[in-house]
Amino acid sequence: MKQGKNIILGVAASIAIYKACDIVRQLQEEGCNVTVVMTEEAEELIRPVVFQSLSGNKVYRGLFEDPEAWDTKHISLAEKADLVLVAPATANIIGKIAGGICDDLLTCVITATQAPVLIAPAMNTNMYNNKIVQDNIKKLKATGYRFVGPQEGRLACGKNGMGCLAGVETIIKDVKKYL
């Protein structure tokens, strides 16, 4: 991977959010500049200051945050990206992307970018196997979006099944493949 690549890391509200911290660190070790865009729901699980401290960059959250200077943030972030990685990606965020819904900063950035988009799902097995979720994934794959995982393992509900976020090393390997 070339040094200095700009990665937009989209973080949605999954209990696997803690692994996004390791993703930031490993991407930095690979020489990437990581900018985190969080959904509002993700902030209920982890505070933005954690990602800001890890990445050394401002964390973007709201579509209508006060700009430091006039800037259409979703466009400037989308244009800056060499790759957009969504990890963890919930059924909700996958559905919004598949439906072209742009009601938060993350979905606007994804819709506006010309960079590759890599999605790492993380959710309960029943949610992952839901026909609508699977149809959304198929639709996104057919239009050029890429996916990594999920994998089998222990879920937040205490059961074992498909839906765990792919391993951090696996995600980083796929990021390298698409850069």
Active-site amino acid positions: 157
Helix %, strand %, coil % of the chain (to 5): 45, 20, 35
Residue in this structure with the two tokens 């970018």, named with its chain if needed = 113
Q: What stretch of H or E contains 16? A: none
Pairing of strands 160-164, 151-154: antiparallel
DSSP classification of residue 60: B
- What is the end-to-end Cα distance of the chain in Å, rounded? 6
- Tokens representing residue 24 in the block: 């930031």
What SS3 class is residue 117? Answer: strand
Q: Which two tokens stand for residue 101?
A: 């819904």
Q: Round to whole Å and give the CA distance between 119 and 8.
A: 12
